[in-house]
Amino acid sequence: MSSDHKGDRGGPGSESNQFLTFTLDAEEYGLEILRVQEIKGYSKVTPLPNTPREVRGVMNLRGTVVPIIDLRSKFGLAEAEYTRFTVIIVVTVGAKIVGFVVDAVSDVLNVSAAEVVPTPDLGAGVDTTFMTGMARTGERLVTLLNIDRLIGRDEALPAVMA
């Protein structure tokens, strides 16, 4: 299985983007690769009082205090024990840095505009504003996430990130 689409290298007129894909509860998600600063193995975080459940705390990353968000909890999935595959994806959100705890990183996926379909309308009771669409790659569907909208929905997070 190759995620390399040699014809879509981002040249003039090309509408191809790269996404770092990861799993949560056997489902695949993608983040814009240009927003990913690094991927690191899960390490202990310092809990903070009075934060939403998905905010696991903060960690010191080379002198920068980085808030850590568990995406399983954020998406309402069942909690799972952290394993040797559990990683923290460190991303940039504006001038800030945030870490996302995920089950495992999959690969880097080249996605052309033709492979992206809109997020399905799931009704008024389901919030899909943090999704930019679904990437069709072979038989797989990968949910593409908008980092800014994903983070912007938390009122408590800006205080943690300040």
The one-character DSSP state at 81 is: -
β-pair partners for 17: 111
Alpha carbon distance, N-terminus to C-terminus of the chain:
42
Q: Is residue 78 part of a domain?
A: yes
Q: pTM (2 decimals)?
A: 0.81
Provide the CATH number for the domain around residue 125: 2.40.50.180
Element (H, E) at 71: helix 71-74
For residue 72 the two structure tokens come to: 């399983």
> Residues near 11 by Cβ (< 8 Å), separated by ≥ 6?
none
Q: Is residue 68 part of a domain?
A: yes
CA distance 80 to 10: 37
Domain count, the chain: 1
CA distance 22 to 72: 12
Q: Is residue 91 part of a domain?
A: yes
Please tell me the number of Cα atoms within 13 Å of 115 on its side-chain side.
23
Going 76 to 61 to 59 to 85, the CA torsion angle's sign is positive
Are 31 and 20 spatial neighbours (Cβ–Cβ below 8 Å)? yes
Q: Is residue 39 part of a domain?
A: yes
Q: Is residue 6 part of a domain?
A: no
Domain span at residue 146 reads 16-161
Q: Is residue 134 part of a domain?
A: yes
Give the pLDDT of the chain (162 residues) as one tens digit per residue: 444 443 334 444 456 799 999 999 989 999 999 999 999 999 989 999 999 999 999 999 999 999 999 999 999 999 999 999 999 999 998 889 999 999 999 999 999 988 888 877 765 556 667 888 899 888 889 999 999 988 874 444 544 544
Per residue, the 3-state secondary structure of 98-146, as one string, reads: EEEEECEEEEEEEEEHHHEECCCCCCCCCCCCCEEEEEEECCEEEEEEC
